[in-house]
Structure 1
Amino acid sequence: MQNVILRLVDVPIARMFVLAGFIFMMIAVLGKIEGKIEPGSFGRIGAAILGAILIAIGISMQSDESRDIYAKVPQSVISAIPTRNVVAITPASTASNTESSLIKVTSATYGRNCNAKPGNATAQVAKECDGHNNCDFTIDTAALEDPAPSCSKDFAAEWKCGNGNAIYSAALTSLTGKNDKLHLNCAN
């Protein structure tokens, strides 16, 4: 039973809203369900309105989540990456002045593979790395909010260099909990 409850709680909240919306829409359309739910005409109208609202909220939440680039990566691809592998994209060209080669963190997420809220660690990484050419951010899991206690989390960051439009990223697909460091770089 505990396993079933954990799986239900592990579903993204957007999907829960959509599912609840469909259940209310079923009540509105069918009316009587096995003699246990018998709404009157006012109840059916209310169920239809509530169902439509829940579906709209769920879809809008899902579209917000799908804007996160990491949400689009299939879980099988993430799990196929060897542990302790650092994926980093660094600038190819040399910056003409020092200001254009300074890090500006745009997003950092702890537990993106566990459906954590995108950007939940942005403030911590920005505080440590913004304004530097290079930065080794030490991931202190005790200082970060744990978005999913029963899930092995990854850590990812995105940043820009100076006023440029290019977005660079680095990720640790598996954390050991001891001296995990994410390298951000805007220098040669």
Structure 2
Amino acid sequence: MRNLLYPAAVMAALALSSPAGAADAPADGAADFGRLFTNTCLAAFGDARKVEQFMETNGLAPLPAGSAQSFLLGKAGKAWAISLGSGNYAVAQTDDGVCAVFARQAQPDALVAEFQRLLNSVPAPLQVTEVKTSGPNREGTHTRSWGVNAPDAPSGVLFTLTTSNDPSMPLQAMASMASVSTSEFIPVATPKQR
């Protein structure tokens, strides 16, 4: 039970430190993506019912099972399509606790900046570490992951952001979060200074 409290404490601190409509956030698709991620995945972490409640409050029904699988990748759960002023998005919540937000179109640099703004708001003593990822990294597509945890905690939260600048891709961005063991947080090597 104690191990389950660590990710919950991480998310509670992060949610309190990053209001959904932060004044310094860019007023574009990256900000909409960030707010959607904050208001769904971040706000509901550890309680999938909260994602459903958010969707119900906003009059959004889950996608049919066949369409939802495009976002659930074979896992059990639910997904919703959302249109905002800046574009088309989807939110997926798997039954095993992974939450993700997808964007049909995205500006990768703006999304990375928005995600880093969110992670820079993590209060002490929580720590953020960029970690190695197994996601796709090839020309035009890039995946970055960050681990957030309390010092010496056995578990934490893994944030992953995948972006693509390829206009032929059906989705150009995906951000997800999941509770994982901190032993999986293998830091990205920092280049040596000359």
Please report the TM-score for the alignment, with normalisation by the length of structure 2: 0.31
Between Structure 1 and Structure 2, which shows a larger proportion of strand residues?
A: 2
Larger radius of gyration: 1
Query: TM-score normalised to the size of structure 1?
Result: 0.32
